[in-house]
């Protein structure tokens, strides 16, 4: 039973009223094995309609949780039975697909174990990063309303702060100013702790559930070996830090040193840091600001730097169809578009079962967009050959990114920016299987 309801949570720095799954932040993890039939009953105790979207899974279309496209909204007081076979192992998560509910506390990890994977590690740590404003005097619905009304980003509440910018993100780093940044529901000063032993290998399963914030993550002084992105194995790659756009997931393995170390999340282009601590014994955690300096170099970016494991590279094939996906906005007002239009569920891009499909995302805006496709895992076309298999790929301003997938899962599948404000303001369309 998944109970979506209003409640209070303790972030560490503040106690806030919000909406959660089961009263916890993040919601309790769901863990299954590849091939399992997952059954979850959603019980909607929220004052608004909701749904659950199972982010990253190539599941059956009628369980995808997109209201008006794959199912009706679940009314307050009503329920919905989700039941589907889980096709692929990996680190995934789930969240509502109604309005900007994702930017409240409604999110939780979905971990799919692979019975055949050797698992060369001793412990696992699932970490969900988030940007937080709900219950601090504003909520996400008001924030979206303000953006739509003012026609501009950078809700600086009159403080005259500059728009957040990041060279790494190629321009604007966000439209919304958040008072808090969280790792597993906590601010840095009240970090959650994992008890470990020196020399242990810990698998980090990292998820960015933010509404409007990319995170730069890493363990200062302790190199990570990146092993998966968006659930799928990559060529193992050493990194001091990795950049996670909204909706992206990365797995890594680290070897625990002798002293307490943080897994830091730096809000990219914004002034915020959060952490989870790995604690091999007594001792104080290092100062977060000082520790963060070690992660200020060039992080790995999943789209460019993490080629898919060889067995996962899609067999070479010319695309049967190439669909341009031109990303535009935010003029006029706060309007974000794909191919010049806002979301229209009846005007998607047509694909046919059996086709090799190429989507060509072209970002004509001044902000990055983590573009997400439901129901499929595409192959990024890298500069030097096959890139990673992913479901969410960050497209930088002024750049184009091509992704290929085999149309093997019939249905109506949303593709959109995982900046929840951009998606709601129009940057959303449908990959629509037609006869």
Rule CB under 6 A: say whether 55 interacts with ligand C2O: yes
CB environment 123-162: b (16+ within 10 A), e (fewer): ebbbbbbbbbbbbbebbbbebbeebeeeeebbbeeeeeee
User: Out of ligand C2O, Cu ion, none, which partner does residue 414 contact, by CB within 5 to 8 A per kind?
Assistant: ligand C2O
d(CA 21, CA 94): 10
Q: How far is the CB of 49 from ligand C2O (least distance, A)?
A: 16
Contact between 416 and ligand C2O per CB under 6 A: yes
The residue whose Cβ lies closest to ligand C2O is: 55
Please give the Cα distance from 60 to 138 (Å, whole number): 36
Question: How far is CA 103 from each of CA 10, 76, 257, rounded to the nearest angstrom?
Answer: 16, 19, 35
Binding to ligand C2O (CB under 6 A): which residues in 124-153?
Answer: none
The distance of closest approach from Cβ of residue 317 to ligand C2O in the complex, given in angstroms and rounded to an integer, is: 27
Q: Which one of the spans 20-28, 111-119, 174-182, 411-419 is the region binding ligand C2O (CB under 6 A)? A: 411-419
Q: How far is the CB of 255 from ligand C2O (least distance, A)?
A: 31
| Interaction partner, residue 55 (ligand C2O, Cu ion, none; CB < 5-8 Å by kind) | ligand C2O
Q: Which of 27, 53, 57, 206 is close enough to bind ligand C2O by CB under 6 A?
A: 53
The dihedral formed by the CA atoms of 44, 47, 51 and 55, expressed in degrees to the nearest 10: -100
Nearer to Cu ion, 125 or 430 (CB): 430
Question: How far is 374 from 270, CA to CA, in rounded Å?
Answer: 29
Rounded to an integer, what distance in angstroms lies between the CA atom of residue 386 and that of residue 317?
Answer: 12
Contact flag: residue 104 with ligand C2O (CB under 6 A):
no
- For residue 424, give the DSSP letter: H
Which two tokens mark 369?
């967009």
How far from the centroid of its chain's Cα atoms is residue 108's Cα? 11
Q: Return the number of other C-beta atoms located less than 10 Å from residue 70's C-beta.
A: 21
From 20, 59, 82, 97, residue interacting with ligand C2O (rule: CB under 6 A): 97
110, 337, 422, 426: which one binds Cu ion (CB under 5 A): 422
Query: To the nearest whole angstrom, how small is the minimum distance from the Cβ of residue 416 to ligand C2O?
Result: 6
Site residues (vs ligand C2O, CB under 6 A)? 53, 55, 95, 97, 247, 372, 374, 414, 416, 418
């Amino acid at each position: 039973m998944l109970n979506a309801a209003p409640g209070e949570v303790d972030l560490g720095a503040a106690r806030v009223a919000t909406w959660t799954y089961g009263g916890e932040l993040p919601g309790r993890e769901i863990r299954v094995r590849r091939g399992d039939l997952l059954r979850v009953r959603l019980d909607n105790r929220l004052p608004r309609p909701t749904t659950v979207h199972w982010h990253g899974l190539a599941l059956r279309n009628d369980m995808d949780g997109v209201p008006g496209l794959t199912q009706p909204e679940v009314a307050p007081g009503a329920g919905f039975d989700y039941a589907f076979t889980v096709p692929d192992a990996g680190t995934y998560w789930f969240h509502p697909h109604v309005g900007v509910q994702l930017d409240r506390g409604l999110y939780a990890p979905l971990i799919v174990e692979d019975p055949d994977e050797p698992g060369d590690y001793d412990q696992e740590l699932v970490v969900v990063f988030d940007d937080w404003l709900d219950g601090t005097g504003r909520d996400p619905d008001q924030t979206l309303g303000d953006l739509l009304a003012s026609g501009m980003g950078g809700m600086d509440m009159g403080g005259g702060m500059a728009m957040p910018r990041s060279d790494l993100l190629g321009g604007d780093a966000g439209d919304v100013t958040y008072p808090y940044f969280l790792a597993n529901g906590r601010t840095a000063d009240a970090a959650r702790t994992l008890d470990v032993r020196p020399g242990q290998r810990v698998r980090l399963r990292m998820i960015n559930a933010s509404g409007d914030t990319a995170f730069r993550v890493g363990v200062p002084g302790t190199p990570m070996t990146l092993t998966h992105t968006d659930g799928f194995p990559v060529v193992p790659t050493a990194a001091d830090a990795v950049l996670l756009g909204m909706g992206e997931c990365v797995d890594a393995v680290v070897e625990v040193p002798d002293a307490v170390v943080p897994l830091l999340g730096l809000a990219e282009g914004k002034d915020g840091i959060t952490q989870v601590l790995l604690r091999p014994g007594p001792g104080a955690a290092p100062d977060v600001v000082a520790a963060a300096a070690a992660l200020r170099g060039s992080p790995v970016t999943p789209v460019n730097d993490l080629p898919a494991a060889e067995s996962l590279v899609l067999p070479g094939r010319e695309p049967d169809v190439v669909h341009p996906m031109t990303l535009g906005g935010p003029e006029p007002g706060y309007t974000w578009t794909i191919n010049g239009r806002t979301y229209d569920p009846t005007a998607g891009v047509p694909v046919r079962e059996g086709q090799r499909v190429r989507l060509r995302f072209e970002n004509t805006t001044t902000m990055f967009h983590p573009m997400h496709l439901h129901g499929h895992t595409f192959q990024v076309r890298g500069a030097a050959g096959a890139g990673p298999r992913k479901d969410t790929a960050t497209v930088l301003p002024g750049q184009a990114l091509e992704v290929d997938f085999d149309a093997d899962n019939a249905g109506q599948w949303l593709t959109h920016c995982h900046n929840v404000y951009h998606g709601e303001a129009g940057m959303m369309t449908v990959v629509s299987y037609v006869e």
